Structure 1
Amino acid sequence: MRFNPFAPSFRQDPYAQYAALRAELPIRTLGMWVLTRHTDVLAVLRDRSFSAELIPALVARHGGAVDTDLVLRLGRASLVFTDNPAHARLRGLVNRVFTPAAVADLEPLVHELAQRRVSGLRHDLMAELAEPLPVEVLCTWLGLPAELHGQVAGWTHEIRFLLEPGMLKRDHLERISRVVATFAAALREVRTPGLLRELAAVRTAGGDRLTEEETALLGIMCFVAGTETTAALIGNSALALLRSPGIGLEQVPATVRETLRHESPLQMTTRIATREIEIGGVRIAAGDQVLLCLAAANRDPAVFPNPDTFDPARGPGPHLGFGFGMHGCLGGALAELQARAVLDTLVRGPDLRLDGEVRWQTESLIVRSPEALPVTVAAGAR
């Protein structure tokens, strides 16, 4: 069995390949084990002996003459790239301000911004709505001054290569190092009220707190981990809605949830085994890399009946669209809120139609979303 995630055909439609892989034992290719069954992927996500520190290790190994010290510190200040005890410390501090109540308080803002973006739609739902909305929401929540709003998306797009171990190259590291320094310096100057200042002020009962640099680097990772994936969820959910015009307001939450399973924005993630272990009938050695195909697990017929059918009525299920366990997506509730706000606004109007073929983006291996989502606004819909 061959597996080539770089192939154009796979990037456009990976699901036949995922199905073929699920029928086999986990395979070893491209220097890593590829897991596609729900039970195997979930087993690794649950097992804390699998490390999430692949990217910092790659940066340290490939940095060479590039000054990567700040990029390494970004990894060590990130919930995405850390293991315990560092992860537990960071999560304990961040959880004090990144709460369900705090996300719920953002609902009026998210709906206002979504409605404004929808009212301005003309041609491309991705470029005009799905991509800018998560950046606007985070900029506002973190308290960033207006002069930074226009720069954040570009900085984030450069740094997100850290999430792509298969695409990270030295020239990327050079640009990332420069951008992280610029981005961090800008965030350290933020003094307006918002999540960033709340993170800087939080204390544990024992007096632990985030340093000024850690606060800025956590702010950067909010954008890196929470904008392009959220844009993908918005775009994929909107595409599902446009293809199923009978979906009503009461079905919006289920439509977003089913999109997370059926067209997972985050297709895959990577772990490193820190001990020898058997998964899916194969022995994985300590130090081996493991590619977890979340999107394949989310279409496993052993868990989801008729998995290739988009069915909002199937109800809540054990999808892995936000990962699972200690590295489960902290911003998942905010991403769902934004997707629901967009779909709610689209269901209420205007009358949109797909206008051409949907092209899937090819810049990222791990994120699946339309590159463009061409729409036509029906005459008189405004």
Structure 2
Amino acid sequence: MRNPAPVYHAWRESDPFFWYEELDTWVLTRHQDCAAVLKGLDRFTSDWRRLGEGTPDELIMLQTVDPPDHPPVRRLLAAAYRSRDHAALAARTAGRVRRLLADLPAEVDFVREVAVPLTVETICDVLGVDPPDLDWLAGVSPPVIDTMDAGLRPEVIPAGLAARAELDALMERWMSDHRPGGMFAVVSEKLRGMGLDRRLVMNSLRSTFHAGFESSARLLALSLLAIIDNPGALRFFAKTPDTAVDEVIRYTSQVQVLARGCLVDTELGGRTVRAGQGVTLIIGAANRDPAVFPDPDALLPDRSPNPHLGFGRGLHACLGASLAAMQTRALFAELAVHHPEVRPCGEPVMWESGTLRGVRSLPVTLS
């Protein structure tokens, strides 16, 4: 969990496209193959119902449906997201960063005291709602993450579905109790009369909220861990922030794995993938592919070009990619100027998650 790259390199050198019997899936580690699957909507699906597999209603959302269900819901959520004043949002986020860092003692748990409150406040700002209690959220979120590894640990599914039910209740409250101008205000107004599946929309809003803080918080903590491991990298966030953000996204790859199902027999990467078979994309490996990224295990904050797959590709690319990048830029630009000597004061504790990599606790000293 601390550094999976050596395992991925060993896989790629041994067999970059291999069959994994335990999960009945192909495992792909090359950038070219992973990108082809993500863009190959006519050959690969995110909706396992198209292959005859049952999917609980709670898991029918933007990330798990294809056309014709996907485009109108994505257009609705994308329009609601674009309606925000993003310059003002960036200014408020920078203000949150300054306030959070100014109010902290010298030694902090970066995850609990910076990454999580920052990302929760920011996504709630975008949604136009009041942030929920963080202690409650800390209990609800991990079971949802656990279900991403349900293929390996099916016993986690009931707790994950129960946690989603708690988040669903929060979504329903927000649909009737929100501020003007936020995503919930736009969606609640436009949803009426559009003929969309309301459950699909609500599940997608739940996922937008959850990924908006959980995935983003993991990106921030992993990025700081990478910077600690690579002294001198932090200064690039003041000099070349855009390339620095792209590089920590590539280097950390908080979303380690994505899965798709094959719709038609397909020749890919020197293999024949049969209709009905699964393909597991190791995004963490693709983002360290030496065929695409010279010196892939080096954190090079001025790396350009940087065609990482950290936010996916194609139809199911991350809707909030720009929001995650904006928060990362704001936080590390502030650290670069005012806390350039940030250093660990304890051992990091990693989450035991294969799909969404993350740091559970990161004790640091802020100079």
Fold equivalence (TM over 0.5): yes
Amino acid at match of 1:354: R
Q: Look up the match of 1:331.
A: 320
Distance 1:28 1:211 in 2: 37
User: What one-letter code is carried by the residue in structure 2 that aligns with 1:223?
Assistant: F
Instruction: Give the residue type in structure 2 aligned to 1:40.
Output: D
Change (3 A) 1:322 1:58: farther
Deviation sequence 1:67-96 (CA, Å, 0-9, x none): xxxxx33322x2111111111121122121
Tell me, which stretches of 5 or more residues in structure 2 are unaligned? none
| Cα gap change, 1:106 to 1:22, in 2 (>3 Å) | same
Match in the other structure for 2:244: 255
**What amino acid maps onto 1:12 in structure 2?**
R
Distance 1:253 1:268 in 2: 24
Corresponding position: 1:52 with 2:46: yes
Shift of 1:231: 1.1
8 Å CA contact 1:80–1:327 kept in 2: the answer is yes
In structure 2, C-alpha distance between the alignment counterparts of 1:148 and 1:12, rounded to whole Å: 29
Matched, 1:180 2:172: no
Q: Deviations over 1:180-231 (max 9, x none)?
A: 3332223222322221121121269xx5255654443222111233322211
Q: Secondary structure at the match of 2:108?
A: coil
Over 6 Å off, 4+ runs: 55-59
For the 8 Å contact 1:34–1:293, the answer to whether it is kept is: yes
Deviations 1:334-382 (A, max 9, x none): 000111111011112135432346535132111223332221233xxxx
Task: Tell me if structure 1 keeps the 8 A contact 2:344–2:364.
Answer: yes
2:19 counterpart of 1:19 = no
Contact 1:33 1:289 in 2 (8 A): yes
Alignment of 1:230-249 (within 5 A): 230-242=216-228, 243-245=230-232, 247-248=235-236, 249=238
Aligned ranges 1:183-198 → 2 under 5 Å: 183-190=167-174, 191-193=177-179, 194-198=182-186
Contact 1:114–1:342 under 8 Å retained in 2? yes
Structure-2 separation of matches of 1:229 and 1:178:
20
Q: Which residue matches 1:226?
A: 212
- What amino acid is aligned across from residue 3 of structure 2 in structure 1? D
Partner of 2:329: 340
Q: Is the 8 A contact 2:287 2:310 kept in 1?
A: yes
Select which of 291, 294, 314 maps to 2:280.
Answer: 291
Between 1:123-132 and 1:29-38, the stretch displaced more is 123-132
Q: Given the alignment, which residue of 99, 109, 116 partners 1:131?
A: 116
Q: Out of 309-318 and 212-221, give the one that drifted further.
A: 212-221
CA distance in 2, matches of 1:209, 1:348: 50
Q: Number of residues paired by the alignment?
A: 354
Alignment correspondent of 2:203: 217
The answer (yes or no) to whether the contact 1:55–1:81 under 8 Å persists in 2 is no
User: Could you tell me which amino acid in structure 2 is paired with residue 135 of structure 1?
Assistant: V
**Partner secondary structure for residue 134 of structure 1:** helix
**What does 1:91-106 align with in structure 2 at a 5 Å threshold?**
91-99=74-82, 102-106=85-89
Cα deviation per residue 1:296-315 (whole Å; 9 max; x = unaligned)? 11111111111111111222
| Separation of aligned partners in 2, 1:312 and 1:320 | 16
Instruction: Describe the SS at the equivalent of 2:302.
Output: helix
Aligned residue identity for 2:339: P
Structure 1: runs of 5 or more not aligned: 1-10, 62-71
Amino acid at match of 1:244: P
- State the one-letter code of the partner of 1:367: L
Counting aligned pairs with the same residue, the percent is: 29
Work out whether residues 360 and 368 of structure 1, in 8 Å CA contact, stay in contact via their aligned partners in 2.
no
How far, CA to CA, are the matches of 2:49 and 2:97 in structure 1? 34
Secondary structure at the aligned position of 2:194 is classed as coil
- Residues 1:73 and 1:52: Cα distance change in structure 2 (over 3 Å): same
> Which residue in 2 is equivalent to 1:5?
none
8 Å Cα contact 2:218/2:359 also seen in 1: yes
2:356 aligned with 1:367:
yes
Asked whether the 8 Å contact 1:118–1:129 carries over to 2, the reply is yes
Partner of 2:267, secondary structure, is strand
Aligned to 1:69: none
User: Is the Cα–Cα contact under 8 Å of residues 51 and 83 in structure 1 kept in the other structure?
Assistant: yes
Query: Where do residues 51-90 of structure 1 align in structure 2 (5 Å cutoff)?
Result: 51-54=45-48, 60=54, 72-76=56-60, 78-90=61-73
Say whether the 8 Å CA contact 1:103–1:334 is kept in structure 2.
Answer: no
Q: Partner of 1:123: helix, strand, or coil?
A: strand
Normalised TM-score (structure 2): 0.87
Against the structure 1 CA distance between its residues 176 and 18, is the aligned structure 2 distance closer, same or farther, given a 3 Å change threshold?
Answer: closer
Preserved CA contact (<8 Å) 1:202 1:210: no
1:231 maps to a residue whose letter is A
